């Protein structure tokens, strides 16, 4: 910390980002693979949130692969909560923290949707909403709708994790 500002020091890491993997290497993710990848990202995001850090810029170029494991990079827009002690947080601060969490969750929803589209080939010239274009298990649709704030957004990773594991299980039974 210097002059009241926090700084993150990170080691340089070689690897390909998810954007390059998808566009240059033509990597695709089926529904189950997309959900399993999201589970890895959720662990990383949950760990950050436990430390009071909110990334605020989760997107495919900011996910790096090294030894087939995802790592989050580019913390330039990240925020840290003022107080780590839940008892001392004001109502305003709690609302602000919830909003930062939900931004990260929304970003996870966009990443999941992006991964799901890697195997989609348009047969229709007319653009349709993802709910009509993609054939997804109902558990995956439920998860996505909550991540994207279409239905009640998640307020914690526990509920999201439960829905994510239900979607993974539904995909194991079908595919």
How far is it, in rounded angstroms, from Cα 161 to Cα 143?
9
Which pLDDT does position 89 carry in this prediction? 56
75 versus 145: the higher-pLDDT residue is: 145
Contact 54, 81 (CB under 8 A): yes
pTM: 0.86
Tens digit of pLDDT for each residue in 149-159?
A: 999 999 999 99
Which pLDDT does position 65 carry in this prediction? 86
How far is it, in rounded angstroms, from Cα 164 to Cα 18?
21
Tens digit of pLDDT for each residue in 49-73?
A: 999 999 999 999 999 988 888 999 9
User: Residue 96 domain-assigned?
Assistant: yes
User: Residue 157 domain-assigned?
Assistant: yes
User: Residue 124 domain-assigned?
Assistant: yes
- From 16, 46, 57, 74, active-site residue: 57
User: Residue 145 domain-assigned?
Assistant: yes
Determine whether 159 is an active site residue.
no
User: Residue 98 domain-assigned?
Assistant: yes
Which pLDDT does position 174 carry in this prediction? 67
How far is it, in rounded angstroms, from Cα 102 to Cα 23?
28
Count of structural domains, the chain: 1
Residue with token string 């709690």: 94
User: Residue 161 domain-assigned?
Assistant: yes
Residue with token string 């330039």: 76
User: Residue 115 domain-assigned?
Assistant: yes
**Confidence band of 88 (pLDDT split at 50, 70, 90):** low
104: domain range?
29-52+91-174
**Confidence band of 91 (pLDDT split at 50, 70, 90):** low
Among residues 146, 140, 15, 144, which one has the least CA distance to residue 72?
Answer: 15
Which pLDDT does position 43 carry in this prediction? 96
């Amino acid at each position: 910390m210097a002059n009241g500002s926090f700084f993150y020091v990170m080691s340089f890491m070689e690897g390909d980002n998810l954007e390059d993997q998808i566009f240059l290497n033509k990597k695709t993710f089926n529904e189950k693979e997309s959900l399993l990848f999201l589970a890895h990202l959720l662990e990383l995001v949950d760990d950050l949130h436990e430390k009071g850090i909110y990334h605020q810029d989760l997107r495919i170029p900011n996910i790096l692969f090294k030894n087939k494991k995802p790592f989050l990079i580019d913390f330039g827009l990240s925020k840290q909560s003022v107080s780590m002690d839940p008892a001392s947080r004001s109502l305003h601060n709690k609302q602000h923290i919830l909003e930062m969490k939900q931004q990260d969750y929304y970003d996870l929803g966009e990443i999941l949707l992006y991964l799901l589209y890697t195997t989609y080939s348009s047969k229709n010239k007319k653009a349709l909403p993802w709910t009509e274009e993609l054939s997804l298990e109902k558990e995956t649709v439920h998860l996505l709708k909550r991540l994207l704030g279409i239905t009640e957004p998640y307020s914690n990773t526990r509920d999201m994790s439960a829905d994510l594991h239900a979607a993974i299980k539904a995909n194991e039974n079908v595919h």
